[in-house]
Amino acid sequence: MSRPSDDKAFVRASAVIPRGVAHVRLDGPVVTRDFAFLVLPRFTLLAFSSAIEPLRIANQLTQQPLYNYRLVSMDGQPVESSAGVRIEVDQGLEPLSRETTAIVCSGTDASLAADKKVLAWLRDHARRGGGLGAICTGAYTLARAGLLGDDAPAVHWENRPAYRELFDVEPLQQIYVIGRKHFSCAGGEAGVDLMLALITRDHGPKLADAVAEMCLHSRRREASATQKKVYPAPMLARNPAVARVIAAMQANIATPLDREALAEVFGRSPRHLERIFQSVVQETPKGYYLGLRLEEARDLLSDTTLSILEVAVATGFNSRSSFSKAYKKRFGQSPARTR
């Protein structure tokens, strides 16, 4: 039997706030934001917890109910995660207030995790002006409900090809995106970055940085940060020559190998390398290699005191200007802005 969907369901978040040593003082009146996490069967536990914990920590650090949250399931019964851990929920698919943002959390059963009742519940919430969000593969459910339109969500790299085929939309490579009507993140620990961005918008960077420190999250990543281009071991095991080429690229960031040298590592002609690499990785060797170098550059800009020119040289660029141009094209901001 479902629990009632009134404000009592928010008791866990706002009535009893644990007290810790760290504290952040906020000036001005507090406006409480409400979230409802719809956890679907086989949802990913890491992605879910990385999104909900920053909200709890923000409440704890300020000793104020900045964020309320409740858990929702399709039938009001406990839900089992992909790790086999079952969690209790607060309600079933009773209506939410329009001030509440519904966040869909799913995992391994991305395309069929939600039934027609869930889709109708989400559509009804959207019609009444309620906000929407998606964690991990939750974007599949929002897309099935017709609530994303042509907007591209952030989807985990493993799920991007399937999403592209199902919905004829190219999902974003970045770790999260915050739009006017909905937001999404690619899963894993990207939920932390997404919620830190929302906390920054609501209460400023000081609180967001404090929450990041409590999470032992080294830095707040911008939405423009792309997912690492990591590919499943079984896939690369079936294509050992491609795996050798990628390993050679990773080992030669400062002095990039040319097309002929990569083809020699591959063991076939440059043209054959281009064809096989693109069929396996869905990107040209040149484009993939450039992405590796630029992601290395972004890490160096964020985590070291190297000058921009030194970072450019360390990642195989001949000049600061050529580096800056390539960097801005990929990440939408200059190296100086990242620094």
Angle (CA) 109-43-226 rounded to 5° is 90
Residue 152 pLDDT > 50, yes or no?
yes
Q: Which has more confidence, 302 or 270?
A: 270
pLDDT for 200 beyond 70? yes
Whether 2 has a pLDDT exceeding 90, the answer reads no
Please tell me which of 7-21, 43-57, 105-119, 230-244 the model is most confident about, judged by mean pLDDT.
Answer: 43-57
In this predicted structure, what is the pLDDT of residue 231? 62
Q: Name which of 20, 76, 41, 30 is nearest 214 in CA terms.
A: 20
Determine the Cα–Cα distance for residues 35 and 16; give it in Å rounded to an integer. Answer: 17
Please say if the pLDDT value at position 3 is more than 50.
Answer: no
Handedness of CA 231, 236, 242, 248 (dihedral sign): positive
Residue-wise pLDDT for 120-145, tens only, equals: 999 999 999 999 999 999 999 999 99
Residue type (1 letter), 31: V
More confident residue, 224 or 10: 224
Helix axis angle, 45-62 relative to 190-203, nearest 10°?
A: 30
Q: Is the pLDDT higher at 1 or at 54?
A: 54
Higher pLDDT, 20 or 286: 286
pLDDT of residue 303: 62
- Residue with the larger pLDDT of the pair 287 and 173: 287
pLDDT band at 232 (very low <50, low <70, confident <90, very high): low
- Residue 330 CA to residue 225 CA, distance in Å, equals 10
Question: Looking at residue 228, what is its pLDDT?
Answer: 66
* Average pLDDT score, the chain: 88
Q: 300 with 307: CB under 8 angstroms?
A: no
pLDDT for residue 129: 95
Q: What confidence category does residue 267 fall into, taking pLDDT thresholds of 50, 70 and 90?
A: very high
Q: How many Cβ atoms from other residues are within 10 Å of residue 255's Cβ?
A: 7
The whole-number average pLDDT for the span 238-258 is: 92
What is the pLDDT, as a whole number, of residue 9? Answer: 46
Average pLDDT, integer, range 146-150: 90
Whether the predicted pLDDT of 229 surpasses 70: no
| DSSP 8-state class, residue 204 | -
CA angle 43, 46, 201 (to 5 degrees): 105
Q: How many angstroms separate the CA atoms of 39 and 136, rounded?
A: 11
d(CA 291, CA 304): 19
Average pLDDT for 194-209: 94
Report d(CA 178, CA 151) in Å as an integer. 11
Residue 267: how many other CB atoms lie within 10 Å: 12
Model pLDDT for residues 88-104, shown as the tens digit of each residue:
999 999 999 999 999 99
Q: For residues 118 and 144, what is the distance between their CA atoms, to the nearest angstrom? A: 10
Tens of pLDDT along 24-76?
A: 888 878 889 999 999 999 999 999 999 999 999 999 999 999 999 999 999 99
pLDDT score of 302 more than 50 = yes
- Binning pLDDT at 50, 70 and 90, where does residue 332 land? confident
- What does the alpha-carbon distance between residue 178 and residue 182 come to, in Å, rounded to a whole number? 6
Q: For 8-22, 197-211, 301-315, which range has the lowest pLDDT when averaged over its residues?
A: 8-22
pLDDT band at 82 (very low <50, low <70, confident <90, very high): very high
Q: What is the pLDDT of residue 169?
A: 87
> Lowest-pLDDT range, 22-36, 81-95, 186-200?
22-36
Nearest to 141 by CA among 23, 69, 37: 37
Beta-carbon count within 10 A of 297 CB: 26
Output the pLDDT for position 11.
45
